[in-house]
Amino acid sequence: MNRFVLRIAYDGSGFHGWQKQPAARTVQGEIERALSEIAKEQIKTIGSSRTDTGVHALNQFVHFDFPFNMTPQQIKLAITTKLAKDIKINQVYTVENDFNVRFEAIGRSYKYIIAKELTPFNRLYKSFFPKYKIKKEQIEQCLPLLMGRNDFEFFCQKREDLHTYISVVSAVAFHETKDEFIFEITADRFLHNMVRRIIGTMVRLSDNKEVYQIMKELLSRNREYLHLVFTAPPQGLYLMNVLYPAGHFPEYEFNA
């Protein structure tokens, strides 16, 4: 068996998330179907991140073991012919047989885009908050609170297999353009719904002069403020990059 890594992009609006599910179209399910058809046997995959229904990715990494001696370019061409246009194979790499795209990753970056005006053309790719007046300055004041090591228990959907809520945020920014607001964040790991709850809560409270103090209390796990946490919709969320130690994917590092 040879181990390969796919670097893929996808439009998440037509999928029930990344993870394979029975009776639902998922990105992992489509990738495994295409690879299995090529190999004439069942091929299992591991993804670097799990994205929810409606969430998009510009660079998602996937590893799998393949029974044939094919070059990366041959695999790229073969799998592309079997995939719909909402998944793109950016690149294929050969790796060591013990390489794991999930455990070798040292960070991930997400972007969340908020439209100032909803249109028929951006409704699946940007979020819109007509009920809230977004104040950029108020949100920017909260960003330093997110930096470094924090417990994000109040900003995630809990799972039984989750033993810690600690993440280390290495970069965070909030930009405004003529047509949209853009939230960007990089961390060593992300919990389920973490980005959507962080940006949703800050947007919801950005017109409140106490937003800085409220975010500080939430990060301190003060349950008095837990009811103020708000999960933003998936439209507008993009997995931008998965970060690996230097040397693993030099072409990707150049383009990242």
Q: Find out whether 228 and 214 touch, Cβ atoms under 8 Å.
A: yes
- Taking the C-alpha atoms of residue 202 and residue 127, their distance in angstroms, rounded to an integer, is 14
Whether 52 is catalytic is yes
Cα 192 to chain centroid distance, Å, stands at 10
Residue 210: which of 112, 142, 127, 124 has the closest Cα?
Answer: 142
- Taking the C-alpha atoms of residue 206 and residue 212, their distance in angstroms, rounded to an integer, is 9
Q: What is the bridge-based pairing of β-strands 237-243 and 56-66?
A: parallel
Token pair belonging to 92? 């294929």
Q: Find out whether 38 and 30 touch, Cβ atoms under 8 Å.
A: no
Segment holding 12, helix H or strand E: none
Q: At how many degrees (to 10) do helices 211-219 and 136-146 cross?
A: 20
Q: What is the SS3 string spanning 113-159?
A: EEECCCCCCCCCCCECCCCCCCCHHHHHHHHHHHCEEEECHHHCCCC
Catalytic pick from 11, 52, 86, 188? 52
Active site residues: 52
